Amino acid sequence: MKRTNTCGELRKSDLGKEVCLQGWVRFSRDHGGVAFIDLADRYGITQIVFDPADLPSETDASRISDVMKKFTRESAVSVNGVVRERVEGTADARNPTGEIEVLISDAEILGRSKIPPFEVGDQKEGVLPNEDVRMKYRYLDLRRTEMIEAITIRSRFMHLARQYLESKDFLEVETPILARSTPEGARDFIVPSRVHSGTFYALPQSPQLFKQMLMVGSIDRYYQFARCFRDEDSRKDRQPEFTQLDMEMSFIEEKDIQDVIEGLISFVWDGLYGKKLEVPFPRIGYTEAMERFGSDKPDMRYGLEFVKLTDVVKDVPYEIFQRIMKSGGIVAGINVSAELSGGKIGRNDIDRYINYAKKVGLGGLTWMKIQDGVPTSNITKYFTPEILEGIKNEMKAEEGDILFLVAGPWKSTYEGGGALRKKIAEDLDLVPKDVFQFFWLVDCPMFEVDPVSGKYDAFHHPFVKPLGDIDGKACGGACFDICLNGNELGSGSLRINDPEIQKAVFRKLGKSDEDIEEEFGFFVEALSYGAPPHGGIAIGVDRFITIILGKETIRDVIAFPKNKKAVSLLDNSPAKVPEDKLEELQIMTLSIDDLDFETVEESEEE
Ligand code: ASP
């Protein structure tokens, strides 16, 4: 290689060395005929200097000067020169190469750049161009230090995970991208078959069925960095295609899967940060998580826990609560203590939270402030003094504390309450930074029942092993989630390995025997050839990297993401397909003129 060093490599110990650096012209400035250039690559930035007076002849100087006139910003260039110490007082302590510079003896342009649409150098906060511009010119965006760091950590993570799993006898196996639908709760992306017109493949929402069939096939420890495709609205932590570290094991119990993940994450953590993580990770049951934190992936780094009040207010004359409790709903409260808020929550803030509560699906929000020892607000007249005293005691409320009460059906009320809890914590700056709290969510239900239609839905997916009678009340499932700082990193479970139970679960989910045969006949059959007890898990790689790097969205850790409207602005996909190609596939489309890819509106809500 002509390049002798990277732009992040040279130090004072290299003084006097003849080097060749190749990289991009980040900034250049001219001081009376002497040019200073910041030459950048993914490893760092080195200052290079063109000083005509230091070159052997004028001819050399003018030849190099002519070449360097083409050194526009972000051009790829090559320079030869000698490493020398920077003039006293000009060293840059923030840059590891900041004590030296390279005095140019020769220069070559390798790839000239047009004027870049935005400045690639490290941006001060708020100066970054809008995300769509960065997406459109992602190759330029990738040159930014922040992006290089994300891509590097991602690669390190994948490498370390592979190293760990291979050491534990896991085999990496690829599973098909063109396949039959795998139900993970989203819509499928479908791909037409040319050979069998009128039929379609589905892109996998996950490799679930294939990894289970690998277990039937005796590959008792499998993993894969699997690309998954789910057609759902994009959000900060989702986009149409994403990567999972997918795993499956045979002859195991729940704890064996959790042990492997704890071992893996600790190994990765040590490799990335040189720090030990405390294992085992704590466990919290689903019901407890919902009732204390209003979430099945609670952020437990701060308090603001819910307190159940249904018993305390059961005889309250307040009609709204009575109606809710009679139809099986709950009343719960959260105490925003004066100590936490510094007494900063005023009437306007309360109104803001009432509006927010409506936005997150709560019917309303009841509030009280402890004044002169008593819960006080415009509705306390509907409460008896004993009940008010009961609320105050149950919520351990003190003078000046604000109590927010939520009421309604169990699930939606706790979920809405959880969103409110998060909002309050963010407003009051209660969320600690740089604390990583892993935990397992356990004791999950097998099904969820739609309160309106009464229809059963799988809590995770239909392949989870039920714990007990599936027709019994509140049947549990052998499934669990791993969570980090209020995010679900991944889900896992023990699976059904008995074909009859698998069919029974499908029936419970409303499938007829014909549907089962048509959609999953092949899979049920596979289970009937000595399927071992097995289970597995999948960890969202994009999400994991996003959280550990403290990024806003998973788009920041994916080299070529789709934008908020599921569009790749770089290659303008999805795109129209020429008529003849569609004819070949025997597909007719309605007109899709006037596609407006640039207009972005996204629900960033969870
Ligand atoms: N297939 C599941 C998912 O994608 C994970 C698992 O159960 O292994 O969420």
What digits encode the pLDDT tens for the residues 66-76?
999 999 999 99
Residues of the chain with CATH 3.30.1360.30: 302-431
Report the residue among 181, 184, 203, 206 best suited for mutation to probe ligand 1: largest number of ligand atoms under 8 A from its CB.
206
Residues of the chain with CATH 2.40.50.140: 12-111
**CATH H superfamily, domain 140-275+532-606:** Bira Bifunctional Protein; Domain 2 (3.30.930.10)
How far, in Å, from the CA of 537 to the mean position of ligand 1? 6
Average pLDDT over residues 179-203: 91
> Are 116 and 73 spatial neighbours (Cβ–Cβ below 8 Å)?
yes
Start-to-end Cα distance in the chain: 49
pLDDT attached to residue 270 = 98
pLDDT over 90 percentage in the chain: 85
pLDDT, tens digit, for every residue of 344-355?
Answer: 889 999 999 999
Report the residue among 238, 461, 480 best suited for mutation to probe ligand 1: largest number of ligand atoms under 8 A from its CB.
461
Tell me the pLDDT band of 597, cut-offs 50, 70 and 90: low
pLDDT, tens digit, for every residue of 393-436?
Answer: 999 999 999 999 999 999 999 999 999 999 999 999 999 988 99
How far, in Å, from the CA of 185 to the mean position of ligand 1? 11
Specify the residue for token string 């969870």. Answer: 606
pLDDT attached to residue 148 = 96
How far, in Å, from the CA of 429 to the mean position of ligand 1? 34
Whether residue 125 has pLDDT greater than 60:
no
Torsion (CA) 548, 552, 557, 561 in degrees, nearest 10? 160
For residue 192, give both structure tokens. 């037409």
* Ordered DSSP codes for 366-378: EEEEEETTEEEST
Residues 97 and 14: their CA atoms lie apart, in Å, by 11
Residues 11 and 98: their CA atoms lie apart, in Å, by 8
> Could you tell me the sign of the dihedral formed by the alpha carbons of 283, 289, 295, 301, in that order?
negative
Residues 67 and 80: their CA atoms lie apart, in Å, by 13
**CATH H superfamily, domain 12-111:** Nucleic acid-binding proteins (2.40.50.140)
Tell me the pLDDT band of 604, cut-offs 50, 70 and 90: very low
Higher-scoring residue by pLDDT: 262, 586 = 262
Residues 28 and 74: their CA atoms lie apart, in Å, by 10
- Ligand 1 within 6 A of CB of 481: no
pLDDT attached to residue 318 = 93
Residues 292 and 300: their CA atoms lie apart, in Å, by 10
Residues 369 and 460: their CA atoms lie apart, in Å, by 40
Whether residue 198 has pLDDT greater than 70:
yes
Nearest to 300 by CA among 309, 289, 308: 289
Tell me the pLDDT band of 79, cut-offs 50, 70 and 90: very high
Tell me the pLDDT band of 605, cut-offs 50, 70 and 90: very low
How far, in Å, from the CA of 128 to the mean position of ligand 1? 36
Whether residue 359 has pLDDT greater than 90:
yes
pLDDT attached to residue 309 = 97
pLDDT, tens digit, for every residue of 469-478?
Answer: 999 878 999 9
pLDDT attached to residue 288 = 98
Nearest to 141 by CA among 121, 114, 169, 165: 121
pLDDT, tens digit, for every residue of 556-590?
Answer: 999 999 998 899 999 999 998 898 988 888 888 77
The percent of the chain in helix, strand and coil, each rounded to the nearest 5, is: 30, 25, 45
pLDDT, tens digit, for every residue of 501-549?
Answer: 999 999 999 999 999 999 999 999 999 999 999 999 999 999 999 999 9
- Ligand 1 within 6 A of CB of 535: no
Cis peptide before 574 (omega within 30 of 0): yes
How far, in Å, from the CA of 83 to the mean position of ligand 1? 54
- Ligand 1 within 6 A of CB of 493: yes
Q: Which is the closest atom of ligand 1 to the Cα of 207? A: 1
SS3 273: helix
Mean pLDDT taken over the chain: 93
Q: Which stretches of 381-474 are assigned E, i.e. beta strand?
A: 402-408, 438-442, 444-445, 447-449, 456-458, 466-467
Beta-carbon count within 10 A of 403 CB: 23
Whether residue 592 has pLDDT greater than 80:
no
Residues 165 and 248: their CA atoms lie apart, in Å, by 12
Residues 49 and 62: their CA atoms lie apart, in Å, by 15
What sections of 51-144 are H helices per DSSP? Answer: 58-68, 131-136, 138-141
- Ligand 1 within 6 A of CB of 505: no
> Are 123 and 71 spatial neighbours (Cβ–Cβ below 8 Å)?
no
Looking at 3.40.190.10, 1.10.10.10, 3.40.1440.10, 3.30.1360.30, the CATH number of the domain 302-431 comes to 3.30.1360.30
Torsion (CA) 173, 483, 203, 546 in degrees, nearest 10? -90
Q: Which is the closest atom of ligand 1 to the Cα of 493? A: 7
- Ligand 1 within 6 A of CB of 181: no
pLDDT attached to residue 606 = 41
Residues 241 and 302: their CA atoms lie apart, in Å, by 32
Average pLDDT over residues 43-51: 97
Residues of the chain with CATH 3.30.930.10: 140-275+532-606
Higher-scoring residue by pLDDT: 449, 45 = 45
